[in-house]
Amino acid sequence: MITRLLLAAASMALLGAASPATPDLKRLLAEYPQPTLAAYRLFTDKAAMTPAAGVELYTLNTQLFTDYADKARYAFLPAGTTATVSATGAIEWPIGTTLIKHFQYDEGEGVRRLETRLLIRKASGWMPVSYVWNAAGTEARLQRAGLTISLTIPTPQGKQAINYQVPDQNQCKQCHQQSGAVTPIGPSLGNLNNDGQLQRWSAVGRLQNLPAILPRLVRWNDPAEPLDTRARAWLDVNCGHCHSRAGFASNSGLYLQHDEQDPTHWGVNKRPVAAGRGSGGHSFGIAPGDPDHSILVHRLESTDAGVMMPQFGRTLADTEAATLIRAWIKAMPPVAE
C-alpha cells in the first residue's frame, strides 16, 4: 500500500512522459466523470506531480482539517478564460475551471498520496468527484461510493493509526452545497488573500475585477493575529460551509461563517435544537467564559460518530484548533442569564 511518489515521479521522468501537456477540456466537461484522473491530463506525469499548462498551485490562509492530511491545491482555468470577482465579493469561475486537491501524508521517507478531489465547473454547475490512488502512486481511479483506508500517520501528538475516509459523492455535495447548488468552499477572496497571490492572478489575467480593498481571512494558527479573528476563521472554514443560512445545517440556527453578526446565531447562549446526545449534557453552543460547558467544544473534540462535528471528513480531533476555540470561549465575558 505504501506509495513513494518521489520514487514514482523519478521513474516516470526516466521513462519519459508521453502525455500531451494540456488538460483535456472536452473530458472535463463530459457528462460522466472519467474512470481515471490521468484521463483529464491535468498533470503531465502519471504521479500527478507536475501540473500541465494552465494548472497552477494556490494556497489558502486557513484550511479544512482532514486528519492532519497535507493538501496541495491547484486551479485549472481553460486558456483564454478568467475568473471574475462579483459585486458581492464572490469569485465567479469560468466554465471548465477545475479545482484540484491532493490529500497526502509526508511519512518522512516520501509522500503517500491517498486521493485527489476535483471540482469541475460545468455549464450546469460544479461537479465533485474523487479519485483514489493505487499503492504504487501511478494511477488514481474514480471512487464514487467512498472508501476507508487504514494507515498510520504523523500527527503533532506522534504517530497514529487511522481509518482515513474518502468521502462518497453525496458527501462531497453535502458540504459543498449552498442553497442546493454545489459550490467551492476554500478559494474565497479572503482565504486566497495571502502573499500577493490575488494580485499575481490579477496581473496575469486569471482574475479580474479585484476590489481595491481586499477582505482577508486570517491564518487560524498565526499567533500574531487576534484570537477572535483566528477562531472565527477556523470556524468559517471547518464549519461555516454547512452551518450557514444556505448550508446543509441551516435548520440548526447555528451559523458559523466569519461574518455572521448575531452572537446568538454563532452560538453564544444558544440552546441546542436537534443535537440529541451531541449536546454532551450542556445547555449552550457557547457558554461564554466556560469552554468545558460549551457544546461547540464538546463536538469538535469528539470522535464519536453520533457526536462529532464536522460529521465526516475527519476521524481525529483537531487538537490544536480545539485549544484555540477553548481559549477564544474562555476569553468571552460570561453573560448573566
Partner 1 sequence: MRRSNSGLCLLAAAALFSALPAMARTITVRPQAGTSGSGPNDHTRLQEALIAARPGDTIRLAAGRFRLQKGLSLDVANVTLLGAGPDKTILDYTGQTGAAEGLLITASGALIGSLAVENAAGNGLKSKDVDGISFVNLRVEWTGGPKASNGAYGVYPVSSKNVLIERTLVKGASDAGIYVGQSQNIIVRNNTASMNVAGIEIENSYNADVHDNLATNNAGGLLVFDLPDLPQQGGHSVRLFNNRIIANNHVNFAAPGNIVANVPSGTGIMVMANRNIHITGNEITDNKGNAVMLVAYTQAFTDKAYNPLPRGIAVRSNRFSGNGNAPSFKGGAEIAAAIGGTIPPVMWDGVQRFTSPGAASHTEADGPIIVDDSPVLNLGLGTWGTPLDQAKPSVGSMTADATQPNALHEPDAIQLPAAQLARAAAIKGGMIGR
Amino acid (1-letter code) at residue 25? L
Angle at 82 between CA 80 and CA 86, to 5 degrees: 155
Write down the least CB distance from residue 263 to partner 1, Å. Answer: 9
Reduced to 3 states (helix: H, G, I; strand: E, B; else coil), residue 288 is coil
Residue whose CB is less far from partner 1, 144 or 200: 144
**Cα distance between the two ends of the chain:** 56
Write down the least CB distance from residue 72 to partner 1, Å. Answer: 25
Write down the least CB distance from residue 53 to partner 1, Å. Answer: 26
Write down the least CB distance from residue 327 to partner 1, Å. Answer: 23
Reduced to 3 states (helix: H, G, I; strand: E, B; else coil), residue 19 is coil
Write down the least CB distance from residue 56 to partner 1, Å. Answer: 26
Reduced to 3 states (helix: H, G, I; strand: E, B; else coil), residue 51 is strand
The residue behind cell 521513462 is 15
Q: Which long-range contacts (CB under 8 A, 24 or more apart) does 71-75 make?
A: 71/101, 71/102, 71/103, 71/104, 72/101, 72/102, 72/104, 73/99, 73/100, 73/101, 73/102, 73/186, 73/187, 74/42, 74/99, 74/100, 74/101, 75/99, 75/100, 75/187, 75/206
Distance CA 191, CA 170 (A): 25
The residue behind cell 469560468 is 94
Write down the least CB distance from residue 256 to partner 1, Å. Answer: 14
Binding site for partner 1 (CB under 8 A): 31-35, 124-125, 127, 142, 144-148, 163, 165, 168-171, 173-174, 180, 245, 248, 250-251, 253, 264-265, 269-284, 295, 304-306, 308, 311-312, 315, 337
